[in-house]
């Protein structure tokens, strides 16, 4: 099993005729993702990497009513409309690669998604992958291998590093999710943790956050309710207050959003805290061993 995407998931690509979208459509398809159509207004009838292009999501869905995932690769000013179009057409998961989406646009799109029970990943996400099954986005497939550890991170680079470190230690990933680096996101850490908690083939979860925002602190209380261990890492401990580093959302304002406030909240609710990225595989191994001992007791 996996969360959000697997080998049977049918996917469409919005903005498929763009340079990056068409390139990664090829990579996704080569990986095994079932891409059934693409959408670019005014370019219906064209063909991109053997994928038929439609003018609208609704037109695509008429031919492929069982498609449930869309990835969005359009310019920022069109992202809200693309997300809303996917929601209206019946898509269940929207993976928003687009970065620097206007804040009010993303707030509105997120509210509409929540009203309709749609999961939005991103914006500014590198995507998600269920290794050996499906890839949606621009994650480097070579970095991931099938396994039973779920990962969720805001940073694409850290997502790659987590997978590589776990692989070298003999683990693999059930699904790896890049939440995205924009200030306003669709799904948050708690949303993804809940999915992993319910996935029968995920044994433990690694989450990697960063300074700025409150997504990690908001997720902390749920960790106390989980039956699966959560290993957490927060980057940006040395960042000065008020200065953005990296992602648009990585800026500390006030007392919340600091690395220490996130670490304290996560530790208080039962997460295993990694001080460095290199500690994560060892903590995963220890946590899984603890679970085994508890089951035997």
Give the whole-angstrom CA distance, residue 28 versus residue 77: 25
Find tokens 């979860």 and name the residue.
Answer: 205
Type and span of the H or E element at 272: strand 272-273
**Length of the chain counted residue by residue:** 297
Is 64 tagged catalytic? no
Find tokens 């890839």 and name the residue.
Answer: 135
The single residue of 24, 64, 247, 272 carrying the catalytic annotation is 247
On whether the CB atoms of residues 204 and 243 are closer than 8 A, the answer is: no
Question: In this structure, what DSSP letter does residue 223 have?
Answer: H
Cα dihedral value 20, 34, 123, 144, nearest 10? -90
For residue 233, what are the contacts with CB-CB under 8 A and spacing of at least 6?
158, 206, 207, 208, 209, 273, 274, 276, 277, 280
**Phi, psi dihedrals of residue 260, rounded to the nearest 5°:** -70, -40
CA distances to 9, 142, 154, 202 from 94, rounded to whole Å, are: 13, 24, 16, 22
**Which strands, in side-by-side order, build the sheet including 93-96?**
47-48, 51-54, 34-39, 10-14, 69-72, 93-96, 119-122
Type and span of the H or E element at 153: strand 146-153
Q: Known catalytic residues?
A: 247
């Amino acid at each position: 099993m996996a969360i959000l995407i697997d080998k049977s998931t049918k996917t469409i690509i919005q903005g498929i005729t763009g340079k990056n979208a068409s390139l990664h459509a090829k990579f996704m398809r080569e990986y095994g993702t079932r891409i059934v159509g693409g959408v670019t207004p005014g370019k219906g009838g064209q063909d991109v990497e053997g994928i038929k292009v439609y003018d609208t999501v609704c037109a695509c869905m008429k031919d492929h009513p069982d498609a449930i995932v869309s990835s969005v690769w359009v310019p920022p000013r069109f992202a809200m409309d693309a997300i809303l179009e996917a929601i209206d057409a019946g898509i269940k998961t929207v993976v928003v690669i687009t970065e620097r989406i206007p804040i009010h646009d993303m707030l509105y799109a997120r509210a509409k998604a929540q009203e309709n029970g749609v999961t939005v990943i991103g914006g500014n996400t590198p995507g998600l992958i269920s290794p050996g099954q499906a890839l949606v986005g621009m994650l480097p497939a070579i970095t991931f291998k099938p396994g039973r550890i779920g990962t969720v991170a805001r940073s694409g680079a850290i997502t790659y590093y987590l997978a590589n470190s776990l692989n070298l230690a003999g683990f693999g990933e059930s699904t790896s999710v890049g939440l995205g680096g924009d200030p306003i996101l669709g799904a948050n850490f708690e949303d993804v943790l809940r999915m992993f908690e319910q996935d029968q083939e995920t044994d433990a979860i690694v989450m990697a956050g960063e300074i700025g925002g409150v997504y990690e602190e908001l997720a902390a209380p749920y960790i106390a309710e989980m039956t699966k261990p959560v290993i957490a890492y927060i980057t940006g401990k040395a960042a000065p207050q008020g200065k953005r580093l990296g992602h648009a959302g990585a800026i500390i304002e006030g007392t919340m959003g600091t690395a220490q406030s996130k670490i304290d909240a996560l530790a208080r609710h039962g997460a295993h805290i990694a001080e460095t990225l290199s500690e994560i595989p060892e903590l995963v191994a220890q946590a899984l061993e603890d679970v085994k001992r508890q089951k035997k007791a």
